[in-house]
Chains A and B, each alone.
Chain A
Amino acid sequence: MTATLTHARLLSGRSLRTLSRQPAYLLFTLVQPMVWLLLFGQLFRRVAELPGFGGNYLDYLTPGVVVMTAMMSAGWSGTSIVQDMERGVMDRTLTSPIRRSALVTAGLAHQALVTVVQSLIMFATGLLAGARYPGGARGLLVVLACAVLVALIFAGLSNAVALLVHQQEALIAVAQFLVLPLAFLSSVMMAPALMPGWVARAARFNPVDWAAVASREALRAEPDWGLVLDRTALLAALAILMAWLAARAYRVHQRSL
């Protein structure tokens, strides 16, 4: 167990160092969330005049875009695994004493940290652009937790797909295929009350929607904590499932060698 944690720490340290040495990539990782927020905020500004948004669209939008961004960047997380497989790095790792659980943990920890930083940037951007979040610090913590859980879900899935398909193009195709439908079949941008019935029903099964609902609720002045707890529990369960799937995928990958 301690060895697993040490290995996970060493490996996530490596991936964060790699990230810090690719300034262009790092810049886009940090700027992109601001762009999402401001772009959607501007484009759909007048939507807030409809009932169900509470007046200021940016207030409504921020938590949703935070979890959507968490999903989008996590979807790419498997690309570094494919890179390691294309080089001999994966082979070397798998013949070392590193446990598969440490590999999964390292990948997810990296993604969780990136997500927290991105989310905080978006909140800061939102505040500067005039949005207000009555839920305060407690609400913010819930949003961060939801964003991290979404990141774990999609990073776990992305890692598993990477290990099964061994191919950058296929992995990106899967990520692209999932990301937009999941973002739009949710209440990230549109209030639940205004959605067509079938979209609202589909959203009930969409983890991005669970996270958006819980996050928006937690940022209200008087949140319905039952609702928040219900959605975060679903997210946590799915995150555990995906992490397990990623660990299994290492075994399947090794059997294909």
Chain B
Amino acid sequence: MSTPELAVEAVDLGKTYGKGAKAVHALAALSFAVRPGIVFGLLGPNGAGKSTTVRILTTLARPDRGRATVHGIDVGRHPDRVRPLIGYVSQKPGFDPVATGCENLVLQGRVHGASARQARLRAAELLERFDLTAAGRRLAGSWSGGMQRKLDVAMGLMHRPRVLFLDEPTTGLDPQARQELWAEIARLARQDGLTVLLTTHYLEEADHLAAQLVIVDAGRVVAAGTPDQLKSALGGDTIRVGLVRQPDADRARVAIATVHGVGTVVAEGGALHTRVRNGAAVLPAALTALDAAGVELASVSVARPSLDDVYLHHAGRSFREADRLGTGPQVVSL
């Protein structure tokens, strides 16, 4: 079987801002590969180098070291040939607030070489798709934040790119607008076969959307795989048993500890936690043992490790902590 063409490939990308003592190493030998037709996530705390990576891949910035390709074309050597293939939605709003939604879309289409008629048709199609038709003739500056974000994404799609880059697409959106945009992003890859590369510092977002992801920390990839692979790689699940009566805790602990495959059991209030290799396999035996011991259960859950656990494992600190402190340069978002 021949290897299918990669949609995006980054090899040992390095980028340093500034010189001497003030130098900030935004990227240090960052590598990853994206196969076509999936949502690929670049997950990392603020300042990890995600935006810098996207800037390089979209021909905006040049790497100091390493190389990157989009559908086999080198972004540094042939930016002109890469630009028609990509759509880019940056963190900051990229529409003109004193133009209508429709005008914004049409200009974007014309810039990419569409005729006025083609651009109008495509604009109408995208407004419809993003449920913006009713607002299409109003100035985009008067739209809600969620609608504006959708307009930004629609503008990135006007010229039917093969790869869409979304830099922190849902930052600042309310939960409902975020859900809507998630649904739309998932549909782009599923129905249209588009490759979507998105950066995010929301664990839930990467978990929900990305078929493949890399976790980026301090300018390098610290883990790569599907969200499930990354979590499974940590090994094991957590079984949590909630008790009706707290005094049962000791009896329950003894009972559950006899089950094959169960390690340390921790009692915490009216609940027991235990780490096991395969939760689904161990659970029936654990329930039988508890039942035999006459312990009445209020709740049972099997939880896989979260991406936060994955990040904690690889970066040595919790994701939220890193996000709060920032690990990298503050200057990258010019």
Contacts from A to B (Cβ < 8 Å): 3, 6-7, 10, 14, 17-18, 21-22, 85-89, 91-92, 94-98, 166, 254-257
Question: What string of 1s and 0s marks CB contacts (under 8 Å) between B95-129 and chain A?
Answer: 11011000100011011110000000000000000
User: Is A96 in contact with B112, judged by CB distance below 8 angstroms?
Assistant: yes
Q: How far is the CA of A253 from the CA of B58 in the complex (A)?
A: 16
User: Is A91 in contact with B98, judged by CB distance below 8 angstroms?
Assistant: no
The smallest beta-carbon distance between B42 and chain A, in angstroms, is 17
Q: Does any Cβ of A come within 8 Å of B238's Cβ? A: no
User: Is A87 in contact with B83, judged by CB distance below 8 angstroms?
Assistant: no
Provided the pairs A10-B110, A89-B96, A92-B155 are in contact, do residues A97 and B88 lie with their beta carbons within 8 angstroms? no
User: Is B61 in contact with A87, judged by CB distance below 8 angstroms?
Assistant: no
Q: Does any Cβ of A come within 8 Å of B80's Cβ? A: yes
From the candidates B62, B83, B92, B95, name the one contacting A96 in the complex (CB within 8 A).
B83
User: Is A254 in contact with B98, judged by CB distance below 8 angstroms?
Assistant: no
User: Is B84 in contact with A97, judged by CB distance below 8 angstroms?
Assistant: yes
Q: How far is the CA of A21 from the CA of B86 in the complex (A)?
A: 31
Q: How far is the CA of A31 from the CA of B107 in the complex (A)?
A: 31
Q: Which residue of B lies closest to A15 (CB)?
A: B96
User: Is B113 in contact with A91, judged by CB distance below 8 angstroms?
Assistant: no
Chain A residues lying within 8 Å of B155, measured Cβ to Cβ, are: 92
Q: Do most interface residues of chain A lie in helix, strand or loop, or is the interface mixed?
A: helix
User: Is A87 in contact with B94, judged by CB distance below 8 angstroms?
Assistant: yes
User: Is A91 in contact with B90, judged by CB distance below 8 angstroms?
Assistant: yes
A and B contact pairs by CB, cutoff 8 A, 5 listed? A10-B111, A18-B99, A87-B93, A88-B94, A257-B61
Q: How far is the CA of A98 from the CA of B84 in the complex (A)?
A: 11
Chain B residues lying within 8 Å of A87, measured Cβ to Cβ, are: 92-94
Q: How far is the CA of A87 from the CA of B107 in the complex (A)?
A: 17
Q: Does any Cβ of A come within 8 Å of B91's Cβ? A: yes
Contacts from B to A (Cβ < 8 Å): 55, 58-62, 80, 83-84, 86, 88-96, 98-99, 103, 107-108, 110-113, 139, 152, 155, 334
A-B contact count (CB 8 A): 73
Q: How far is the CA of A240 from the CA of B108 in the complex (A)?
A: 29
The smallest beta-carbon distance between A96 and chain B, in angstroms, is 5
Provided the pairs A17-B99, A94-B60 are in contact, do residues A257 and B92 lie with their beta carbons within 8 angstroms? no
From the candidates A3, A91, A97, name the one contacting B94 in the complex (CB within 8 A).
A91
Q: Which residue of A lies closest to B15 (CB)?
A: A257
User: Is A89 in contact with B84, judged by CB distance below 8 angstroms?
Assistant: no
The smallest beta-carbon distance between A240 and chain B, in angstroms, is 25
Q: How far is the CA of A10 from the CA of B103 in the complex (A)?
A: 11
Chain A residues lying within 8 Å of B96, measured Cβ to Cβ, are: 14, 18, 89
The smallest beta-carbon distance between A116 and chain B, in angstroms, is 23
From the candidates B93, B98, B110, name the one contacting A88 in the complex (CB within 8 A).
B93
Q: How far is the CA of A256 from the CA of B155 in the complex (A)?
A: 25
User: Is A91 in contact with B111, judged by CB distance below 8 angstroms?
Assistant: no
Q: How far is the CA of A91 from the CA of B90 in the complex (A)?
A: 7
The smallest beta-carbon distance between B298 and chain A, in angstroms, is 50
Chain B residues lying within 8 Å of A18, measured Cβ to Cβ, are: 96, 98-99
User: Is B80 in contact with A89, judged by CB distance below 8 angstroms?
Assistant: no
Q: Which residue of B lies closest to A166 (CB)?
A: B334
Chain A residues lying within 8 Å of B112, measured Cβ to Cβ, are: 96-97
Chain A residues lying within 8 Å of B152, measured Cβ to Cβ, are: 88
Q: Which residue of A lies closest to B88 (CB)?
A: A95
Q: Which residue of B lies closest to A14 (CB)?
A: B107
User: Is B98 in contact with A21, judged by CB distance below 8 angstroms?
Assistant: yes
User: Is A97 in contact with B61, judged by CB distance below 8 angstroms?
Assistant: no
The smallest beta-carbon distance between A173 and chain B, in angstroms, is 20
- What are the nearest 6 A-B pairs in CB distance? A88-B94, A88-B92, A88-B90, A92-B94, A257-B61, A95-B88
Q: How far is the CA of A3 from the CA of B111 in the complex (A)?
A: 9
Q: Which residue of A lies closest to B61 (CB)?
A: A257
User: Is A256 in contact with B94, judged by CB distance below 8 angstroms?
Assistant: no
**Most chain-B CB neighbours within 10 Å: which of A3, A21, A97, A166?**
A97
The smallest beta-carbon distance between B113 and chain A, in angstroms, is 7
Known: A3-B113, A98-B111. 6 other contacts (CB 8 A): A86-B92, A88-B90, A88-B152, A91-B92, A92-B155, A95-B58
Q: How far is the CA of A248 from the CA of B62 in the complex (A)?
A: 16
Q: How far is the CA of A142 from the CA of B89 in the complex (A)?
A: 46
User: Is A88 in contact with B91, judged by CB distance below 8 angstroms?
Assistant: yes
Chain A residues lying within 8 Å of B62, measured Cβ to Cβ, are: 254-255
Chain B residues lying within 8 Å of A86, measured Cβ to Cβ, are: 92
Chain B residues lying within 8 Å of A85, measured Cβ to Cβ, are: 334
Provided the pairs A14-B99, A97-B113, A257-B334 are in contact, do residues A92 and B90 lie with their beta carbons within 8 angstroms? yes
